């Protein structure tokens, strides 16, 4: 069974199963909600940004996704800049 193989690989890689289960359970519900909102708004994506709460959640989601990448990039640039010493 492929499910057993996936579970085995996740255990061997020390991957916690909870995020996977949450994604499998909440993913279809989220997809239905987004599809319903787009149908009601006749395809207008601005419906996700016109309320303060939804705008805040979108900004927070963007930060959660992109902030670690920006921090990693900044650390990389900082290490690169601090290792090279100016020659006078």
3-state secondary structure the chain: CHHHHHHHHHHHCCCCHHHHHHHHHHHHHHHHHHHHHHHHCCCCHHHHCCCHHHHHHHHHHHHHHHHHHHHHHHHHHHHHHHHCCCCC
Percent of the chain past pLDDT 70, that is, above it, reads 91
Q: What percent of the chain has pLDDT over 90?
A: 24
**Predicted confidence (pLDDT) at residue 84 exceeds the cutoff of 70:** no
Which residue reads 């061997």 in tokens?
12
CA separation for the pair 71, 78 (Å, rounded): 10
Q: How confident is the model at residue 63 (pLDDT cuts 50, 70, 90)?
A: very high
């Amino acid at each position: 069974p492929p499910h057993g193989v996936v579970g085995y690989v996740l255990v061997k890689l020390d991957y916690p199963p909870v995020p996977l289960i949450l994604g499998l359970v909440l993913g279809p519900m989220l997809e239905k909600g987004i599809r319903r909102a787009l149908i009601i708004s006749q395809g207008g994506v601005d419906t996700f940004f016109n309320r303060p709460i939804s705008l805040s959640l979108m900004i927070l989601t963007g930060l959660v996704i992109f902030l670690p990448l920006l921090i990693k990039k900044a650390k990389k640039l900082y290490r690169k800049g601090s290792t090279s010493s100016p020659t006078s």
